[in-house]
Amino acid sequence: MPGGGIDQTASLQEAADKAAQSGTPFFLPPGDYTTTKLELKSGTQIQGVPGKSVLRFNGGGGLIGIEDAADIRLTGLTLAGDAKPIDGGALLVAEQVKGLYLSDCRILGSAEDGVVLRKVSGRISDCEIGDNRKGGLFSEDAAGLEIAHNHVRDCGDNGILVWRSDAGEDGTIVTSNRIERIAAKSGGDGQNGNGVNVFRAGSVMVSGNRIADCAFSA
């Protein structure tokens, strides 16, 4: 249950682990839940009420971490960073995940990036990602990723980044997103201030996005 500012990391982690083990969704009722990072296992499904089920960052290495996992589904959650310092680069970090499905979520107020994905497949859709100090969503070495119908706004350096550590096929689809008010607070001559930035990644499809008010380029 919502805890009025009391740290609930242990109880939330236990509930998520039990849900993953049993194969049933974990429903997060409306309210504010103060927490440090939750580590999600394969098969975890967490469902909230959009705009009302809030995980509020209480310091440390972000709010959600996923590593070497599969079939993760997060729906209707708000990840609220409140601009507090992060020891992990983003409010949500996923590495080597086969099938991450993030929908109807809000990722707001990160002191670093909103979402960081490395070697991830799946779909990020119908989310609001904004008020983040650096980038909105960063993907590196994707393995079949779609980023669609999101609102990415008010980020300090970049909107959506699709990169590879070495040049090669990537195949990420970036479509029908609304991206606006992207600054370049870290400066540079083009690496920041972009609505969509593709680097070393081949066969990336970028289409139908509405991009406005970016400091450098689309």
Mind listing the pLDDT tens digit for each residue in 64-115? 999 999 999 999 999 999 999 999 789 999 999 999 999 999 999 999 999 9
Calculate what percentage of the chain has a pLDDT beyond 70: 98
pLDDT of residue 188: 86
Mind listing the pLDDT tens digit for each residue in 111-127? 999 999 999 999 999 99
pLDDT of residue 1: 65
Rounded to the nearest integer, the mean pLDDT of the chain is: 97
Mind listing the pLDDT tens digit for each residue in 19-78? 999 999 999 999 999 999 999 999 999 999 999 999 999 999 999 999 999 999 999 999
pLDDT of residue 190: 83
| Residue 9, CA atoms < 13 Å, CB-side half-sphere | 15
Strands (E) located in 13-63: 26-28, 31-35, 38-40, 45-48, 53-57
First to last CA, the chain: 43
Q: How many CB atoms lie within 10 A of CB 31?
A: 15
pLDDT of residue 10: 97
Q: What are the structural domains of the chain?
A: 9-214 (2.160.20.10)
Q: How many CB atoms lie within 10 A of CB 145?
A: 22
pLDDT of residue 88: 79
pLDDT of residue 55: 98
DSSP 8-state code for residue 125: E
What is the pLDDT confidence band of residue 3, given thresholds at 50, 70 and 90? Answer: low
pLDDT of residue 217: 79
Coil, helix or strand at residue 12: helix
Calculate what percentage of the chain has a pLDDT beyond 90: 93
Q: Per-residue pLDDT for 164 more than 90?
A: yes
Cα R_g (the chain), whole angstroms: 16
pLDDT of residue 52: 98
**What pTM did the predictor assign?**
0.96
